[in-house]
Structure formats: structure tokens, C-alpha cells
Amino acid sequence: MSELMKLAADARVTVRSDSAPNQEGACVVYWMQRAQRGIDNPALDVAVAAANLLGKPTVVFFAPMPYYPHANLRHYQFLTEGIPDIADSLKKRNIGFIVRRFPEHSLARFCDEVKAALVIGDENPMREPNAWRIKAAKKLRAPLWTVDADVIVPSKLLEKAQYAAHIIRPRLQAHLPKYLVAHKNAKAHVAWEKRKEVSSIRSTFFNDSKFHITQGWAIDRSVPPVPHWRGGSKEGRRLLQDFIQHKLPGYAIGRNKPERDHTSRLSPYLHFGHISPITVVLTVDKSGAPKADKEAFLNQVIVWRELSINLVRFNPDYDNFEVGEAWAHRTLAKHANDPRPITYTESQLANAETHDALWNAAQMQMVNTGWMHNYMRMYWAKKILEWTSSPSRAYRIAIKFNDKYFLDGRDPNGYAGVAWSMVGKFDRPWFERPIFGQIRYMSAASTGRKFDSKKYIEQNLQGKLL
């Protein structure tokens, strides 16, 4: 038991139920949600380690449901495509895998069914998933531990909100030697399939072309899947290798050239937990790419990504207008009644019906592909602020589009990006101007001169909105 307590004392682990694991229980359950992968997963590793210490098998319980906040068919399709990779990885590690779909998605009922000795979950700072974990800790008969599996440095070590990249950077760097280490991916000593009772415990999802995980669900189907993206850990690792070979050299300069696309395109895979940030960082760091390019990329995936997660963890207003800095609220209020020479309705914005071809191209890239180049995301959000009747309404529209169309929407990175662009989060006051006040301004002319905007427009204004 002392070894189990050492495991529970790790900074990645939060013990949500103080009772000790049930020695009479039959297995350890890993409740998979945010970290949807069967390898390089700290939460799964804790589950396996605990099960091995208890001499019990490990089983993963994965239960998608139709009411995940703001999720639509585009998101569910990407999630579904990752399931075979999870199954393959778990089988190699002697771990069971049970997928239950709504309405047979109850964690508590499943844990009673398999007689769980201990339940391990992954942390998620978003308000709804975190509330589910609080509720689960009260309902489960077995103790619940959660593990911070999708950050490099455990979020709770930072203790409070960090207000800028230069503030969080040294604090993260101080912890990297301890936490930026390769995953062990240990096997379960007791194979799940050797349990006599396992034959009666089945999934209610079958991954074949005739059955979709959302079948029969009342979800938003107005946003279609995007065929040139495919979810899953294998595809995430393939894109990582492709990025290192073809795009990382020259990244420091090329990352702000939307028409050239030097970006990794890993954000959807990080959002769905199909790839570990530790895996990404270690693989990039070991590559032979120029030092400046590696440092520029690692600053994004370590400093800015974990700053965004810190924002969500410590600020309950992370996805609304109130998240803005005090100076930003003052300056926007001062200019709230400034004449807006051009305004657009939400419908016009959604359909890219503006006078600005560059903005229309960015909007269509998002709607048609589920993705937008990071540099264009800043311009996109700032123009919504400029063309909408009030800052608070503009913010609601930007968040709505972010959550609806992006594959990596509904994510700390997206919320931090909108907050930086529109309400000065992690930024400073700039020269005052109408409408924007002291919010950093971007124009079509100045933005378009920094890259081949004509090519970008041509790339993304082909055809009509899907």
C-alpha cells in the first residue's frame, strides 16, 4: 500500500476520493476522456502501475455522449477515427478496452459491473468536464484519482494564474528536467483478457462502415466532417514526423507565412489527446533541425500552450468577454459608442460575406477545413471586433465560431487566442485608435504585406462554403 501512496503523491495526480483502493475489487478502471490514446499517456500509466501493484488487470472505459459542450458531427467524426488506434495500443499492453455509447455511458454503472478497485481519470480544466469529475468522485463506490495527462508540467504546480509568457516561462523551465521525460508505456502484468468474467462485459460500439458512434443521437450535424483530416494517434505521429522533416527547418520565419504553411497542424491531435505534448517536444528536441527553429516551435507548444491551459484552470471566465484585462475593458468601454463605418450580422460573417477578401479567405479556411493558420486567427478575431456593434457581442460570435468550426476548438488554446486578440489577454496597451482603443490593431494592408496574401486568398476562396 505504501507504494500506492507514493504513486498518489505524484504532482500529476489529484486524489479526489480519500478512501484506499478496494483490495477486494476485481480491476483498475481508467476513465478515458481528454487523453484519447493508448500510449504515451500519464493517466493510463498511473492506472497500469496501480493495477500492477494491486495484482489486478486494467481496463479502459471510453464513453462518448451526445451532450459534450458545443460538439458537432465534425468533432465526433475525428474522435471516432481515433478509436482503432486506441484499441491497437491497449491490446499490445494487455489492457482491456470497453466503449459504451449513450445512453449506456454511465461510469458508475460500469465500475459496479466490473467491480472496480480504483478508478483513474484524466484531468480537464474546462468547467463541464471538471464538474463531471467532481460528481463522479461523489457517486463512485471506488476511489477516484485524476491525472494531469495533457500537459508537460502539472498545472497545479503553478498554483495561480500566470499573466504573461515571460512570467510563466522560467517557472515551467524549472520543472522541465523532472517532467519532460519519455513515457514508459509499461504493460499490465495481469492481462484483462485472462479474466473469466470478461466475456460478459462488452462494448456497445462497433467500428465499422455501417455504424457511426453518433447514430440515433440528436447532435448538430450542420458542420460536416473534413475528409483531408483523419483522427488518431498514428496519424498524429505521422504528421509530427512530416513536420520535422519538411516544415521545421525554416519554422522560425515561415510560421507566420500562412500561404506556405510551416505549421505542424498537430493542434487537433493535441486537443483530442491523440498525441502527447511530451512526445511532441522530445521528438522535436532530438531532431537535427536548426536550433532557432526548434526553439521557436518549443516556445509555442510548451510556453504558450501551457499558459493557455493555466488561463482555463484559474479563470472561470476563460471563454467569455469578462476574461479581458482591466485596461482592455476600460479602453473598449471608452470607445464602445464609436461609429463603426462597416458592420456585419453574424450570418454575414459566418458565410464570409464581407468586403475583405483576406478575412473571407480565413473564414472559409475555418468553415471548409476545420482549421486556420495561427497568424490569420489573430486578424480574423480582430476584424470581428471591428465589424460588430459591440465588443461583447463580437466576443460571443468569435467564441461561437471557434467552438463550432475548428477541429481544435473548445480548447484552452483557442480561448486564449481570442482573448489575446480581442481583450488584451497576455498583451499590453498599444496606440489608441477608434473602436479598438488601446487593443492591438491589425489592418488588411499591413497584414497582407507580411506574406503572399494573394496566394492565401486564392487557396481558400475556391468554391463555396460547405
Residue 211 lies in a domain: no
Residue 166 lies in a domain: no
Cell 506574406 belongs to which residue? 451
pLDDT of the residue at 110: 96
Distances (CA, A) of 272 to 146, 235, 269: 17, 13, 5
> What global pTM score does this model have?
0.96
Residue 222 lies in a domain: no
Domain boundary residue, one of 314, 343, 373: 314
Query: 229, 320, 314, 224: which is closest to 271 by C-alpha?
Result: 229
pLDDT of the residue at 333: 98
Q: Looking at residue 31, which CATH number applies to its domain?
A: 3.40.50.620
Are the CB atoms for 277 and 301 separated by under 8 Å?
Answer: yes
DSSP sequence for 266-317: -HHHHHTTSS-HHHHHHHHHTS-S-HHHHHHHHIIIIIIHHHHHHHHHH-TT
pLDDT of the residue at 201: 82
pLDDT of the residue at 465: 47
Neighbours of 222 (CB within 10 A): 10
Is the backbone peptide bond immediately before 154 cis, with ω within 30 degrees of 0?
A: no
Q: Are residues 91 and 11 in the same domain?
A: yes
| Spans in the chain with pLDDT lower than 50 | 464-466
Query: 302, 271, 303, 289: which is closest to 407 by C-alpha?
Result: 271
For residues 456 and 466, give the distance between their C-alpha atoms in angstroms, rounded to a whole number.
19
Q: Are residues 379 and 427 in the same domain?
A: yes
pLDDT of the residue at 421: 98
343-401 pLDDT, tens digit per residue, is 999 999 999 999 999 999 999 999 999 999 999 999 999 999 999 999 999 999 999 99
For residue 373, the enclosing domain spans 321-460
Q: Are residues 136 and 23 in the same domain?
A: yes
Task: Using the Cα atoms of residue 391, residue 396, residue 399 and residue 405 in order, give the sign of their dihedral.
Answer: negative
Domain boundary residue, one of 257, 285, 314: 314
Q: Looking at residue 295, which CATH number applies to its domain?
A: 1.25.40.80
Cell 489573430 belongs to which residue? 378
Query: 157, 115, 118, 113: which is closest to 136 by C-alpha?
Result: 118
Assigned C-alpha cell, 197: 468474467
Residue 380 lies in a domain: yes
Residue 171 lies in a domain: no
Are the CB atoms for 28 and 49 separated by under 8 Å?
Answer: no
Q: Are residues 48 and 122 in the same domain?
A: yes
Query: 89, 96, 88: which is closest to 57 by C-alpha?
Result: 96
Q: Are residues 298 and 330 in the same domain?
A: no
Number of structural domains in the chain: 3
Q: Looking at residue 343, which CATH number applies to its domain?
A: 1.10.579.10
Q: Are residues 138 and 73 in the same domain?
A: yes
Q: Are residues 87 and 118 in the same domain?
A: yes
Domain boundary residue, one of 97, 125, 150: 150
Q: Are residues 289 and 369 in the same domain?
A: no
pLDDT of the residue at 210: 67
pLDDT of the residue at 1: 61
pLDDT of the residue at 464: 47
Residue 62 lies in a domain: yes
Q: Are residues 246 and 274 in the same domain?
A: yes
Residue 448 lies in a domain: yes
Detail the DSSP E strand segments found in 73-147: 96-99, 116-122, 144-147
Residue 219 lies in a domain: no
Q: Are residues 362 and 401 in the same domain?
A: yes
Q: Are residues 10 and 134 in the same domain?
A: yes
Q: Are residues 308 and 345 in the same domain?
A: no
